[in-house]
Amino acid sequence: MVGLAKSGFAAARLARAKGAQVLVVDRRAETELGQLPQKLRESGVEVRSGGHPARLAEAADLLVISPGVPADTELLRAARVRGVPLWGEVELAARFCRGRIIGITGSNGKSTVTTMAGQILRGAGIPGGTGGNLDTPFCDLLAEDGADAVHAVELSSFQLETVDALQPDVAVIVNLSPDHLDRYGSYDDYARAKARLLEVQQPAGAAVLNSDDRDSARFHEAVRGRLHTFSTNREVEPGAFLRDDCLTLRTEYGEETLLRVDELPLPGEHNVANALAAALACRLAGCAPRAIVRGLRGYRSLPHRLESIAEVAGVRFYNDSKATNSASMLRALAAFAPGTVHLILGGQDKGTDWQSLAREIGRRAKRVLLVGNAAPAIHLALAGVTVTKDCRTVRQAVRTAFAGATPGDVVLLSPGCASFDQYRNFEERGEDFRNTVQALGLEESSDA
């Protein structure tokens, strides 16, 4: 096992439980790995910290690599020369999975679609797990496995690079937009990694694509299963669409009306699209319409994904820290009335062309509060288009936004950037936002 993060830990435990001799290596010092090494050693797994020596390829029958491990490390190059198989944690889990799989990927919204699908499935009484790239690794989902199980599995492009045995019964690509170009040589390379989800599918499987997303058209040639689409703009067949503001399915089961758009608990047209994708995937997996409606009505947003935090003095605060690319940020911004949003933007830039986004940001945002390393580049792009303020930190941005807001306005953290310049991850950034808003609310209450 190469890399002792959450997925590496889960893969090591599964491999050991299946009788393999397991060695885990990680570049970090053992003091940075917490309790994970000790827990693995107690189950008979050997753990070595401080590097990925290339000589390990000489004795390995298989390398299972964590998604964050660069593909060009010396150990992985040596393994390729020797012909040692390179799997990811998802590929390992797929080799032992007995249930059916709804595999979900995309640039934005895949976590929401995955958890929507999981809630629908479990509410329908169908066993299985919900996770993958989201929280619980696929290997750990096998605790809920069985012949009747249906697993809702979020899959990143990194994870899809190493799949082969994974054969999803339903394969969903929510959308496609530029992301992770610091890892991939080009946008085409990134798209090819996503397309792998469709290429490993069997003809009996169902593929679900976004008919409204222009860039998703490139996936059609990769489809091996039965193609279905979803659209918020027009009727599609077979697939899912809106008719008279109602979510509607048209599949092998016939045409079925589910619920009205205003019954969905999440704001934004992008969440209508997410609901259509989840509903269609679950119907193709055998869920009854009644269970789909119940699951969608009862769904609540995930933390850090356009999450409603509080209303303070008539100003609403939303945490969308998961928006780590510009496309996701624009979708969140479009969920609110133009001219009402104080947008907290910035962080660690991914090479985004902010100039091309300036007009749309200026049209929708009332003011932009800049944070992190990307602030100077964003300020230059937005100069003369909208009001900007360099706040450096999320905490300062929250307070500056609130000071300039009026009742009915929205303060939206949707950074469009990675978090690693100031935080360990987007979750920590979102929690900083939440804590600051809550402290602000307490101060306002005490002043009243």
Would you please indicate which residues are annotated as catalytic (active-site) residues? 110, 133, 180
In sequence order, what are the beta bridge partners of 61?
Answer: none
Rounded CA separation 31/40 (Å): 15
Question: What are 169's two structure tokens?
Answer: 């019964």
Using CA atoms, how far residue 419 sits from 323, 349, 424, in Å, is 10, 9, 7
According to DSSP H, which parts of 263-389 are helical?
269-284, 289-297, 326-333, 358-364, 375-382
DSSP 84: -
Question: What are 376's two structure tokens?
Answer: 């100077």
* φ, ψ dihedrals at 248, nearest 5°: -130, 140
Q: Is 192 exposed, middle or buried (0-12, 13-18, 19+ CB in 10 A)?
A: middle
Q: What is residue 376's three-state secondary structure?
A: helix
Residue with tokens 């910035």: 346
Q: Is 194 exposed, middle or buried (0-12, 13-18, 19+ CB in 10 A)?
A: buried
Rounded CA separation 430/409 (Å): 20
Helix (H) or strand (E) holding 151: strand 150-154
Q: What is residue 31's three-state secondary structure?
A: helix
